[in-house]
Structure 1
Amino acid sequence: MAELTTLASVLRSEPTRASLDELYFRFNRRDQVHPDPVEFLYRYENSLDREIAGIIASSLAYGRVRQILKSVERVLGRMGQSPRSFLLDGHPSEFSSLFCDFRHRFTSGSDLVRLLDALKRMLLEYGSLHACFSSEYDEDCETVLPALSEFVSKLAVTAECNGMFLPSPSRGSACKRMNLFLRWMVRRDNVDPGGWQCVSPSKLIVPLDTHMHRIGLALGFTRCKQANMRTALEITRAFRRFDPHDPVRYDFALTRIGILGR
């Protein structure tokens, strides 16, 4: 694999904090972001808008990256300058008329409308997605997994979404897109804009996709052949040895190697 060859040349030997930091400082920069859906979050200074943009962008973050960017732009462009205000001021019938022709791979316009309606209801009940997630978050838990399970459950029940659009960690899914959303909203550096204060970066789970799975296998962080939640947790624990306060710190840099083919 091309990304593994590049990774091996950078790490030179078994990974160390120094070699991983070298990758981090090389790739974890704003000028390395495009093409990546996180770039949509940079448009919004208000974290209340950013969390809405983030959950929409992450929910559509499957398939080819160019198509992902096109689909996210199509949604956020129609929501105007404040995605939060769009949801709170709008009615589901308006959502339907705006997005009836939408499709992103397996996600239909009706899937999207149900998600938007569920997000609107969550905002009305909790005030923000941050507050909803915080209501289930327990600092004593090893990871965000219990809170994530409850958060996804609340969204899925209200939205009546299928498992493809909102995979459930309680069913063993790695929940790559939801963990990606949490990375964006919890961490704050040159790539991840942050905005959620209640959740510690130390509790985050690696967003496990095919690139990270191959990298985890190559580095000896896991032997699991399936990219499920068990594997995601195993790889996260391995990264925690290098940075217990921020185990997903290296996620963007490592997966960028595969995406850019460097």
Structure 2
Amino acid sequence: MLKKDKELKELLDIESNSRNTNFELSYEKPDPLLVAKRQNDDFAILLCALFAYGNAKLIVKFLDSLDFSLLNKSEEEIEKELKNHYYRFQNSADVIAIFKTFRRLKNENNLEDLFYDGYKKDNCVLEGIDFVIQKIKLKANYSSQGFDFLIGNPLKRDKKGFIKEIGNAPYKRWNMFLRWMVRDDNLDLGLWKNIDKKDLILPLDTHTFNVSVKLGLLDRKSYDLKSALEITNKLKEFDNLDPIKYDFAIYRLGQEKII
């Protein structure tokens, strides 16, 4: 390992270790994981991740306004309770649709099993994400700009059927959800046991993208899936078994404008 890489690993190890504490999650330092940690339902936790775009404080405020127990209630109750709920690109019809869809899926499937059906093909989390997105779309029988933005679209593939690295978004919120569910420490939940944390991909957002470029973890200028994979592969040089343990620290370094 080059000297500069050793120094960078040392910096990131210090940052990730010091931030691996519940004190990092508070209303003064808002993060959607703050709300997700209070849930005991995989589908509720996925909702926390999918709505996690925009200003962190506003994300937490919106998530706090949701009654996740509606996932266990009737569709009529969902419509009644959420008729005035909206968030940025999602109007109330979109919010109602996602709750109804998750309720239907929850009644038929275990979310980890659903994800594993796709993942077990080559131990690929992207295949798992793609599989679940397609199941959600099928079960929803609903489409709108807001709904499709929230869920994401199936991943683009080449002529041989392989997922494209260039041409796909980083699927940040899905990869963040997987970090929460698979990793197990003071921050992440570790509720899923069938997915290996070494297969996780960095949840690339503007903060982690900019910090990664400045630190030399990435020399590409495109914000896409290929960049997320390149940073992940670089982090594997620092910890091959748990590369995404550095994600939260990298994110905070950008959010707090330290780097």
Report the TM-score range of the alignment, normalised by the length of the smaller protein.
Answer: 0.7 to 0.9
1:150 equivalent in alignment to 2:131: yes
Distance in 2 separating the partners of 1:135 and 1:249: 25
Q: Spell out, residue by residue over 1:120-145, the C-alpha distance to the aligned partner (whole angstroms, 9 max, x if none).
A: 2222222x21121122222733x411
Match of 1:181 among 177, 194, 209: 177
Task: Name the stretch that deviates more: 234-243 or 169-178.
Answer: 169-178
Q: Spell out, residue by residue over 1:150-205, the C-alpha distance to the aligned partner (whole angstroms, 9 max, x if none).
A: 11121133233443111236141211111111111111101011201111111111
Q: CA RMSD in A?
A: 1.9
Aligned to 2:50: 59
Distance in 2 separating the partners of 1:131 and 1:39: 25
Aligned to 1:222, what secondary structure does the other structure show? coil
Match of 2:118 among 124, 128, 136: 136
Aligned to 2:33: 38
1:94 equivalent in alignment to 2:77: yes
AA aligned opposite 1:133:
F
Aligned to 1:252: 248
Identity of aligned residues (%): 30
CA contact (8 A) 2:211 2:254 kept: no
Q: Which runs of 5+ in 1 are unaligned?
A: 1-11
CA contact (8 A) 1:122 1:132 kept: no
Going from structure 1 to structure 2, the CA distance change for 1:204 and 1:256 (only over 3 Å counts) comes to same
Distance in 2 separating the partners of 1:181 and 1:152: 13
AA aligned opposite 2:94:
D
AA aligned opposite 1:29:
T
Distance in 2 separating the partners of 1:19 and 1:238: 15
CA contact (8 A) 1:176 1:209 kept: yes
AA aligned opposite 1:42:
K
Distance in 1 separating the partners of 2:243 and 2:154: 19
Distance in 2 separating the partners of 1:21 and 1:133: 30
Distance apart, 1:222 and its partner CA: 2.4
1:220 equivalent in alignment to 2:204: no
CA contact (8 A) 1:168 1:175 kept: no
Give the structure-1-normalised TM-score.
0.84
CA contact (8 A) 2:175 2:202 kept: yes
AA aligned opposite 2:83:
C
Going from structure 1 to structure 2, the CA distance change for 1:169 and 1:256 (only over 3 Å counts) comes to farther
Match of 2:151 among 133, 141, 166: 166
Give the structure-2-normalised TM-score.
0.85
Distance in 2 separating the partners of 1:136 and 1:170: 13
Q: Which runs of 5+ in 2 are unaligned?
A: 157-167
Aligned to 1:5: none
Going from structure 1 to structure 2, the CA distance change for 1:201 and 1:139 (only over 3 Å counts) comes to farther
AA aligned opposite 2:33:
V
Aligned to 1:43, what secondary structure does the other structure show? coil
